[in-house]
Structure 1
């Protein structure tokens, strides 16, 4: 077990800027308590110029298990890592640094991206059994993890619903690299395709969808169609409210944060065998999420 390397003073943190709003300490704290582990998990403000100091800290200060990374540290720490997962190499972004210690060996730092897991499991938790045709609102950096998530979930086609068709070129190329077909369509044109989607993911910042929600033709939405909206403050978003009013199912970014945190907990601690349903329930309670139906 990763936690077996140290008997006391175990710690991890979420880093980025701004970071004061992060719910990660609540989620991780509840998980470690449910697992019976004494691990301190805190917030730490960090920007790109702090990357070298963080690298030194993780390698030289005892007790560190890992870091949860938000922007801008998802890219800034990558050059300091000893290895990265295939996901990180493909996406060029990670959200997890895992510290590995072996007696007599130098400390190793490994990068992983559990945002993909968070998206996959969030959509599955909403009851999506078939995921062939997906809409992704937005085509920026946040969309990359969504593209990989739907590819790993068996999707065949993605429509990127955007304001500017040209800005979707990189996202289309990434989708095609996974063997998916992909198009970019303007916000105002999405109404024609709404009935065809098995699920949708909004990667837009809070409020960015407000101006075109009424033009999406949600009255034609198939009942039960899942929407994963990566925002969670304020919640519900206008998009999520309209989606559910027309018979869809919506989950906030807090649900994604929950499931990606579960994977981080496993990586930080090395614990794989546990009553994870109980752990997840405790994590949900800590942030006010409805417990999943197990």
Structure 2
């Protein structure tokens, strides 16, 4: 047990854009719980020092981990949850009462949450085009492979994309290509997609505030595709704006962020968050 009210944090570099403190503080307030959740800017060279100090800090219960630390943090932890070990990426660290640090990955569960209703349907075929090969992409590749999707993973290094597929989705005829493949217009004639589920997923930081824009031409999106951008800043990315204008269904990064935060919140504070207030929370996050 800790002697001070529980404190959890989110760490990354950069970190100013993180909306995690808003989410966790909102839930703490709704539940009337003591405790806090803050953002901490932690550079790569200070990651070990941060964990060393935090594991002995009274009240500190753990942290969420964002770019670029999801993989580099692993050797600094005492234990890994099986999912995090399989993915080779950690986005949640929890301190036990005896000071041990265990790494988890809640990205897969958070990513799938807004798709659950669609995934409950039977489909003739499922295909996902995933842009990115970082920590979040690892979780998304594994999650969608488990849901029966044929995957096309695009990255700046196709060999890295291929290696991720071989490790995380060894079954099935998946494809690894260069990210530039989706930048130009295509005149490919998609077959009838009735009864199919197609996803376009930006699992990269491209399009995030302060980063390069994402070059994706919507001619590569089959009819009836769901366009899913995990970027949370800005809330409405250029990809989502263009996809909506073209008539595609869209899912923004806030949905995944809230889903994975809900799993972490229970680990940090010992109680599930009040999800009945999701609409209010989403509105607050969008301001």
* TM category, shorter: 0.7 to 0.9
User: Root-mean-square deviation (CA), in Å?
Assistant: 2.7
Number of the residue aligned with 1:221: 223
* 1:15 lines up with 2:11 in the alignment: yes
Match of 1:292 in 2: none
Distance (whole Å) between structure 1 residues aligned to residue 277 and residue 2 of structure 2: 22
After superposition, give the CA deviation of every residue in 1:208-231 in whole Å (9 maximum; x if it has no partner).
675441542x4x512xx3221112
1:23 shift after superposition: 0.7
1:169 — aligned with what? Answer: 162
User: Does the CA-based 8 Å contact 2:126-2:150 persist in structure 1?
Assistant: yes
Q: What is the CA–CA distance in structure 2 between the aligned matches of 1:46 and 1:6, rounded to whole Å?
A: 24
Q: 1:129 maps to which residue?
A: 120
2:174 corresponds to 1:182:
yes
Change (3 A) 1:48 1:238: closer
Farther off after superposition, 258-267 or 157-166:
157-166
**Do structure 1's residue 231 and structure 2's residue 225 form an aligned pair?**
no
- For residue 159 of structure 1, what is the aligned residue in structure 2? 152
Asked if the contact 1:20–1:43 (Cα under 8 Å) also holds between the matched residues in 2, the reply is yes
Gaps of 5+ in 2: none
Shift of 1:235: 4.4
Distance apart, 1:163 and its partner CA: 6.4
Output the TM-score relative to the length of structure 1.
0.81
Residue 164 of structure 1: CA displacement?
Answer: 6.2
Equivalent residue for 1:29, pick from 22, 25, 28: 25
- 1:193 deviation in Å? 5.0
CA, structure 1 residues 278+156, in 2 after alignment: closer, same or farther (shift >3 Å)?
Answer: closer
Q: 1:163 to 1:108 in 2, by over 3 A?
A: closer
Q: How many pairs are equivalent?
A: 272
Q: Structure 1 unaligned segments of length 5 or more: list them.
A: 290-294
Over 3 Å counting, the alpha-carbon distance change for 1:287 and 1:235 in structure 2 is closer
1:261 aligns with 2:255: no
Q: Could you tell me whether the CA contact under 8 Å between 2:128 and 2:149 is conserved in 1? A: no
Tell me which moved more, 14-23 or 201-210: 201-210
User: In 2 relative to 1, CA 59–134 (structure 1 residues): closer, same or farther, beyond 3 Å?
Assistant: same
Q: CA deviation at 1:168?
A: 2.6
- Residue 148 of structure 1: aligned partner: 142
1:95–1:114 contact (8 Å) kept in structure 2 = yes
Q: CA deviation at 1:203?
A: 1.5
Report how far residue 259 of structure 1 moved. 1.0
CA apart distance, 1:75 = 2.3
- CA–CA distance in structure 2, aligned partners of residues 162 and 49 of structure 1: 26
Q: Which of 15, 39, 42 is 1:43 aligned to?
A: 39
Q: CA deviation at 1:161?
A: 4.4
Give distance in 2, aligned partners of 1:191 and 1:235: 31
**Paired residues of 1:138 and 1:160 also in contact (CA < 8 A):** yes
SS in structure 1 at match of 2:55: helix
Q: Counterpart of 2:251?
A: 251
Distance 1:137 1:176 in 2: 13
Query: Which of structures 1 and 2 has the larger relative contact order (alpha carbons within 8 angstroms, sep 6+)?
Result: 1
TM-score, normalised with respect to structure 2: 0.82
Task: Tell me the equivalent position of 1:63.
Answer: 59
